[in-house]
Amino acid sequence: MAIADHLEELKKTAKQMVVPGKGILAADESSGTIEKKFAKIGVASTEDNRRSYRGLFFTTPGFEEFISGVILFDETLRQSAADGRTFVSILQGVGVLPGIKVDQGTKEMDGSPNEKVTKGLEGLPERLKEYVELGAKFAKWRAVITIGDVLPTDANIRQNAKDLAAYAALCQEAGLVPIVEPEVLMDGGHGIEACADASERTLRAVFEELKKAGVAPEGMILKTNMVIPGKESGTKAAPETIAELTTTLFERVLPDELPGQAFLSGGQSEVEATENLNAMNKKGQFPWKLSFSYGRALQDSALKTWGGKPENIPAAQKAFYHRAKMNSLATLGKYTSEIEKA
């Protein structure tokens, strides 16, 4: 079907994903990533352990007050909890939208081996059709941009932008809201200016290609990085600086029709990710909502608290509920360090 045939539903879903006070839980770690996360806490990545871990988030009492949608991995979209209910029905039961990661990871770019492009366009229309039948309302595709001495190259930015646009058009044709995720990585010793520059080049190319592909901006969500110094730069920027550089860049590049931008956390600590989002929303209203779609910054405390032990699930859920609530406040610019500690 044509994008126009789905537009009203896409707009409604996209608005719901970034409604003030709510954001998205990214729980779509691929098999390799979840294995690494579990290895850090000494837990084997078996199907049962993944079921227990994902299930603890989806059955946290009251989390739906702060979370509008969850991005799932293929296995989780098809999986059931120990009591036999599918995870999709559990989420639907509390009004949380199920979403699906549809990229298939990254590979080296031909001609620029230190840069990555994302796999997964082949056979995508057929997969999207099945995901819609399984109950998905939105999808996600992540492209990574690397900062280095001569990186990112224009060729890498352009290829990733074209692939994101092709994915987004296919999603809208299938009736799924695309989360378009260009992530400029925090890895490296670069300063905040290099991040600002790479982010602006990337977002400009992404919105040019989305337009060329006929993607309706009002029926999609952007998920990009904050403008922040590299992890190995030895510097930290104040939340107000990050907020200023990020929002002024967005004002230059993002179309007003875009319903929202839901940040990735990218390796920031849980509290940093909340403080930085809060600083942006404290600046006032923008044409688009500024929300969160965090993986690590919503899960880290819960993961450590759980430690693979069923008896720790209630405490892990408490940790997740707290993080979700803090980020909910940050979408409203109402987060404070006092509330964090209370």
Q: Which residue type is seen at 330?
A: A
Q: How far apart are CA 225 and CA 118, in angstroms?
A: 17
Instruction: Give Cα 144 to chain centroid, integer Å.
Output: 13
Instruction: Give Cα 131 to chain centroid, integer Å.
Output: 18
The least CB distance from residue 4 to ligand 5MM, in Å, is: 29
Q: Which residue type is seen at 323?
A: R
The least CB distance from residue 132 to ligand 5MM, in Å, is: 21
Point out the catalytic residue in the list 116, 223, 289, 325: 223
Alpha helices in 74-136 (DSSP H): 74-77, 87-93, 124-134
The least CB distance from residue 24 to ligand 5MM, in Å, is: 9
Is 223 designated active site? Answer: yes
Closer CB to ligand 5MM, residue 159 or residue 224?
224
The least CB distance from residue 288 to ligand 5MM, in Å, is: 19
- Chain residue whose CB lies nearest ligand 5MM: 295
Name which of 47, 37, 94, 106 is nearest 66 in CA terms.
Answer: 94
Closer CB to ligand 5MM, residue 101 or residue 325?
101
Closer CB to ligand 5MM, residue 64 or residue 187?
187
Closer CB to ligand 5MM, residue 7 or residue 233?
233
Query: Which residues of this protein are in contact with ligand 5MM, per CB under 6 A?
Result: 26, 28-30, 33, 105, 142, 264-266, 294-297
Closer CB to ligand 5MM, residue 3 or residue 270?
270
Is 173 designated active site? Answer: no
Closer CB to ligand 5MM, residue 3 or residue 179?
179
Q: How far apart are CA 252 and CA 166, in angstroms?
A: 24
The least CB distance from residue 103 to ligand 5MM, in Å, is: 7
What is the distance between the terminal CA atoms of the chain, rounded to a whole angstrom? 50
Q: CB under 8 Å, gap of 24 or more: what pairs does 265-269 form?
A: 265/292, 265/294, 265/295, 265/296, 265/297, 265/298, 266/183, 266/185, 266/186, 266/225, 266/226, 266/228, 267/186, 267/187, 267/231, 267/296, 268/186, 268/226, 268/228, 268/297, 269/297
Q: What is the rounded (10 degree) CA torsion for 136, 299, 106, 260? A: 60
Point out the catalytic residue in the list 29, 115, 173, 181: 181
Closer CB to ligand 5MM, residue 22 or residue 296?
296
Cβ-proximal residues to 101 (8 Å cutoff; 6+ apart), any chain: 28, 30, 71, 72, 73, 74, 139, 140, 141, 142
Phi (first) and psi of residue 43, to 5 degrees = -115, 135
The least CB distance from residue 77 to ligand 5MM, in Å, is: 14
The least CB distance from residue 84 to ligand 5MM, in Å, is: 26
Q: Which residues are marked as active site?
A: 181, 223
